[in-house]
Amino acid sequence: MTSSTNQFLKPVSTLINEKGNLEIGGCDLVDLAEKYGTPLYVIDEKTLRSICRDYKKAFEKYPNTHMMYASKALCTSAVSRILDEEGFGFDTVSGGEIYTVYKSGVDMSHVLFNGSNKSYDELSLAMDLGVGRISADNFFELALLNEIAQSKGKVADILLRITPGIECHTHEYIQTGHLDSKFGFDLTQIDEAIELIQNEYKNLKLHGLHAHIGSQIFETSIYPDEIEIIAGEISRIEKKFGLKLNEINIGGGLGVKYTQKDAPPSTYEIAELIINKLNEVVEKYNIEAPTVFLEPGRSIISTSGVTLYTVGSSKQVPHGTKYVAIDGGMADNPRPSMYQAEYAAEVANKKDTNETQKVTIAGRFCESGDILIKDIELPELNEGDILCVYNTGAYNYSMASNYNRVQKPAMVLVNDSNSDIIIKRETLDDLIAHDIIPDRLKK
């Protein structure tokens, strides 16, 4: 089976240059750290475009496939522009993500708005900007969306998000397809929703069903299982309601290689399973071949990104752990503290050193749980060394905070020896820009 970029630990352009330093996108990582400061998010454009093309090629045998990048993984204007150039649509989950892709010049008919508690203002914005599909998550939202569409004299094009009852073996916080979930309509609620749409909500047009079964998925059988359930529901709905639904959205969730022990399936392996299953259910249920939407996020952007840190203090616990502190941590990458996520790392300026020692990389934030990587073998670390942590493109910047009132890092895009700022580093003035002291407290 053909390998794909989501199976790589490092960006595809990673190498060791003549200085003995790590290089990505033709840019020396030590030079990037010196030029832009650390912590620093680095996105390799070549890797990003490579995985987009893997997906496109993998699914070319099923022409009615639309790729919708899950923007929650990393939503910036530059990343949105690249994904748009590669022919991807966008799965958005907030007004902020909708506005970001809109301002990036994206064709909004290629955008889906998803989420479990969309606000009136967000739904109104989605309709005003011409979002192509809205994935309705619950009964309250159906009524609210119909009200908004009616007030604007429009018809909202929707999917119903359902919980298919599939439970993947991933962290419980990132399982979204099992029955006891905050997301979507239970299978027993679908008929009531359709009856409301057909009989009362005249400003809603239902096109299909949407399901999402989780994230960081390594199980290959889970997507065919999901398709079987959705196709069965589409067939049943047509027979019961005379309603032909011709769109299915099977979500995303394909895993990536965070450490050497991870072995995610390739996009080509997943595509073959999905396409074969689609062809099977079309014949089995005697339904028209549906238009299929996929929502890859992590597997699109994660491998493209690394984060650079500068090493600071260290502490050797007598007869115990050696802690090495960096100038970032849980505020720029909360995943280790939230999900017990694991990462691989290398020292960018000591690639020619073979001797290593086991250390724990500690963050700078005032929490005992701010540990980035436990027990990793690295060359001896000294103050000023540059640590490169791999596979940080997804859910690092997008989940970052200003904890301890620390500024969020900058982000640079690298390609062909060029580096460009795509997110400015926050300043101290940025931190207090929205603070207000009431007049009665002013001196």
Q: Identity (one letter) of the amino acid at 290?
A: P
**Could you count the other beta carbons within 10 Å of the beta carbon of residue 442?**
6
Calculate Rg over the CA atoms of the chain. 23
Q: What is the rounded distance in angstroms from the CA atom of residue 117 to the CA atom of residue 160?
A: 14
Strand pairing category for 204-210 and 156-163: parallel
Tokens standing for 139? Answer: 């009964």
Q: What is the rounded distance in angstroms from the CA atom of residue 188 to the CA atom of residue 209?
A: 14
- Which of these is catalytic: 27, 168, 366, 388? 366
Task: Assess whether 52 carries a catalytic annotation.
Answer: no
Give 267's contacts (C-beta < 8 A, 6+ positions apart). 4, 6, 51, 54, 55, 58, 254, 296, 299
Q: Identity (one letter) of the amino acid at 276?
A: N
The 8-class DSSP code of residue 71 comes to G
SS3 406: coil
Q: Are 1 and 269 in contact (CB under 8 A)?
A: yes
Q: What is the rounded distance in angstroms from the CA atom of residue 24 to the CA atom of residue 45?
A: 10
Q: Are 79 and 105 in contact (CB under 8 A)?
A: no
Strand pairing category for 418-423 and 357-362: unpaired
Nearest to 161, CA basis, from 199, 223, 114 = 114
Beta bridge partners of 292: 65, 248
Q: Are 53 and 47 in contact (CB under 8 A)?
A: no
Could you identify the residue written with the tokens 């207090």?
432
Give 198's contacts (C-beta < 8 A, 6+ positions apart). 241, 243
Would you list the DSSP string of 335-394?
HHHHH-----EEETT-TT----EEEEEE-SSS-TT-EEEEEEEESPP-TT-EEEEES-SS
Question: 386-407: b or e for each residue (b if 16 or more CB lie within 10 Å)?
Answer: bbbbbbbbbbbbbbbeebeebb
Could you identify the residue written with the tokens 């073959």?
272
Which residues are identified as catalytic? 366
